Structure 1
């Protein structure tokens, strides 16, 4: 059994630290750097970590890890996908690692799934270093488009049953994905009973952003719902997603169509909609 002193002596001193705010950081001890490049849009790094397996970092921010990726990908995908009774055509904006696509195509009704990712380097790095996440990108139903997702949405009106916005943090190329103008374009790209969902950051660390996004989506869609999941490597561990729906309500879902999940199930679907009081207050202000 390790003593505290022995543990310290046997560990390497190579660490990745994400400075999540001026007062908050997360550190992961890494074995080695697997990949590093400056793409036309952002810095892209892949590390091998002791605690969470391979780690994808964009502009210094944790995007995904081998160990906890399934929580984020399942929750962003399956809550809105099950809320829609028959999703056939789905668009994922961002999400170049392929995790959301992997979950989307688990739904037997899906005939077409488009990935609109602005940075092709993310797709290629994910195929190489995260094959279990990117595996769905080779499915014949999947159409990978290396394009500006905002422009793609503007150019494809009325085409999709579900649009999922798997953005990075609201900095750099992702800023426009958190705007009221973009949500209006998303609504136009959806069919009359369409649904959108987006990752919307931490209720502890990003309260002003959540208030604004919830309000903006609520002005565009008649039904707006915020729901939560626990993701260890994201700031504070509590993460929010915001859904906008034209017709269907997530609380009406009784059964789920997808069984091969590790986090999401019918009970979790209902439970994630039950908000702690401080989050209720956040979105009711």
Structure 2
């Protein structure tokens, strides 16, 4: 909360030293401290409503759809028949909003550890939290690690919508976490996880990919632009045990009519494949 000053919110973190991203604040809508983190929701001048956890922006109304759609539809459309999906985290409801749109998805289980984020999002971020209203979604306020330990070989796709690798999310980037994900998947299932930015912390991205490769045969790093995230870029770690699935080629392609009806603002089958094309300096560290 100390990062609010003189009418501006400034995102200052050791994760990206020497720089910060700031938004002008019109009105603070909600601030509280849960058992896990500081929660702040405010109305900004240019980006609409914004959610910050422990001083780090998680989503803004202006550009959140890029992240939500890409972390969701890359794995869903790379799978032949994604009927049952697990969402780990995602307390703002944005990923649930997108997953429930996919015509082949029949059942969504979401496990979020911080109930206060969910309740605040329902009240102040309804454009994302409306995802919880889908009859496909079964929301559980619990520890994702413990849930997966008790649910093996159950899901076609698992999406980890985590905050950055500090605080309660730090364990969601470890080798042991990817082992849990693999065990909770059905054969040839696919995972998709928030995987950081190559501009601020390429060593972290490289390490995360290496951790994942200890348990999955096909591991890829994709990315999209999200202006309100550090350096305007965010990555997605996508992986499967299916050696014959390159993940870059969508198995399910939305028609233009579906894109319009489902209100997809960012994702399409061409951007799906393009998201895996890496700059040379990244390709040297992360072999796609």
The TM-score bracket by the shorter chain reads over 0.9
Query: Which residue, 242, 245, 249 being the options, matches 1:252?
Result: 249
Say if 2:39 and 2:117, in contact at 8 Å, map to a contact too: yes
Runs of 4+ more than 6 Å apart: none
* Bigger Rg over Cα: 1
Separation in 2, partners of 1:101, 1:135: 8
With over 3 angstroms needed to count, the CA separation of the structure-2 counterparts of 1:176 and 1:102, relative to structure 1, is same
1:264 lines up with 2:267 in the alignment: yes
> What SS does the aligned partner of 2:131 have?
helix
Separation in 2, partners of 1:252, 1:31: 43
Q: Say what the alpha-carbon RMSD is for the aligned residues.
A: 1.4
Matches within 5 A, 1:3-22: 13-20=6-13, 21-22=16-17
1:40 lines up with 2:25 in the alignment: no
Structure 2 alignment gaps of length 5 or more: none
Query: Match for residue 180 of structure 2?
Result: 185
Query: Which residue, 58, 66, 77 being the options, matches 2:61?
Result: 66
Separation in 2, partners of 1:264, 1:138: 22
1:282 lines up with 2:275 in the alignment: no
Query: Which residue, 95, 98, 101 being the options, matches 2:96?
Result: 101
Separation in 2, partners of 1:167, 1:246: 22
Matches within 5 A, 1:81-230: 81-230=76-225
Separation in 2, partners of 1:251, 1:169: 25
Structure 1 alignment gaps of length 5 or more: 1-11
CA drift at 1:199: 0.7
More off after superposition, 58-67 vs 243-252: 243-252
1:175-199 CA-to-partner distances (Å, cap 9, x unmatched) read 1111100100100000001000101
Say if 2:212 and 2:219, in contact at 8 Å, map to a contact too: yes
Separation in 2, partners of 1:275, 1:255: 23
CA drift at 1:136: 1.6
CA drift at 1:71: 0.3
Say if 2:74 and 2:250, in contact at 8 Å, map to a contact too: no
Separation in 1, partners of 2:49, 2:27: 10
1:22-46 CA-to-partner distances (Å, cap 9, x unmatched) read 2010010001110000101000010
Separation in 2, partners of 1:96, 1:143: 13
> What SS does the aligned partner of 1:283 have?
coil
Query: Match for residue 237 of structure 1?
Result: 232
1:98-129 CA-to-partner distances (Å, cap 9, x unmatched) read 11111111111111101100000111111111
CA drift at 1:135: 0.8
> How many residues of Structure 1 are paired with residues of Structure 2 in the alignment?
274
